[in-house]
Amino acid sequence: MRFGLIGDPLGHSRSRELHALLADYEYRLWPVKPEALDAFLRAGGFDGINVTIPHKRAVMPYLDQISPQAQAVGCVNTVVRRADGKLFGDNTDLYGMEVAARKAGLRLGEGKTLVLGSGGTSLTACALVRQAGGEAVVVSRQGENHYGNLERHADARWLINATPVGMYPQVEESPVDLRRLPALEGILDVVYNPLRTRLTQQAQSLGLPCGDGLTMLVYQAVRACELFTGRPVPPQRIQRAQRLLRSQAMNVVLVGMPGVGKSTVGALVGRRLGREVVDLDAQIAAQAGMDIPQIFAREGEAGFRAREAETLRRFALEGGRVLVTGGGAVLEAQNRLNLRANGWVVHLARPLDALPLEGRPLSRDRAALKDMWRRRAPLYAACADAVYDNTKTPDACAGAIEEGWYEVLGAQRAQSEPAGRA
């Protein structure tokens, strides 16, 4: 069977990897420019295709039948050749978004949903809200409802970000400040790189349920796979795909006071999980050509922090590693946000009187150490997803972190797959 993806360009598509996890057919990437679409479709060299930009509407005149879902959205992203040779078109993005919203706890049939953006994904979101029986309000840069008059919809209960705002590499951006919408009960962000955008991080800080684009990505492919094969995808294959993609995208990040044992424990965690370990202080020293105390002596703390922020951002926004941070990495708000973007952040803790002082530029004595802890403790708490005590052996601590990692992925240790790199 001949399955694949058409679009232009296809350089960053993960469809081949995803379909390989869900089914056992060969899946190809066919770069097709707009002027070549007619010849490709008429040649008929496929049994099923996924369709991405810029062809989602252009394929529709070639289809013999279009599903009600695709008609509601106004575009097609999956085409199947039936036994009689006729072409059937569907929109599986709608199904993927519905699953993502449902898993996040969004009840789109109740009240008003703000849909950010006016592109193709916005059409999918509006169709989903209408399908659920709710009210969809599109917010864009221009028009009746725009970002400048957002307060007129302060009664909105749900929000779907259907824009690429916040996507890598412009991760510092967010489409809206959620504090302007006091009635919100949950959000869905279709962006999946990074896993936690600035928007979803703010939602979490406000205690709002939120869904990410990775769930939508997986389930739109699940629905396409079922259309291709005519069979349901086994739940265990769906779960494995979700686990593997999330694992590839995520870092295990260790934060904590200087001398708490992050480097030692991090090396052990990396060995247990089969992951590369990156010590950010070691990276900074290597790039500077001098050790950390020398950087402090020559450039001061401000110079070191600037180097730290640049190095941290570079590694934090990639996935599949164990990141060992310096004790003060959490001081800058942007650092904390970047660490959490693709990271499961672990606060490694140990009693202050057990922390060494030698070679630590900012913790010269116990009084300085206690003052440092007083200032940093709330920042560690704000950044971390979990806290682990390193009071027994480093290996025992690493083992506990390993078990916690599998719980985060929803996998049993014996069933886990190597994390790999994204």
Non-local (6+) Cβ contacts of 79 within 8 A are 46, 48, 49, 51, 59, 63, 87, 88, 89, 90
Side-chain half-sphere of 230: how many Cα atoms within 13 Å?
6
Report DSSP state, residue 185.
Answer: -
374, two tokens: 């007083």
393, two tokens: 């052996």
56 is an active site residue = yes
264 CB neighbour count, 10 Å cutoff: 17
What CA–CA distances, in Å, run from 10 to 4, 5, 7, 14, 31? 11, 8, 6, 9, 6
Q: Let me know the angle formed at the C-alpha of 26 by 22 and 29, rounded to the nearest 5 degrees.
A: 100
Catalytic entry in 56, 112, 370, 392? 56
What is the spatial distance between Cα 283 and Cα 181, in angstroms, rounded to a whole number? 41
Pairing of strands 78-81, 87-90: antiparallel
Element (H, E) at 142: none
- 96 with 217: CB under 8 angstroms? yes
Which residues are identified as catalytic?
A: 56
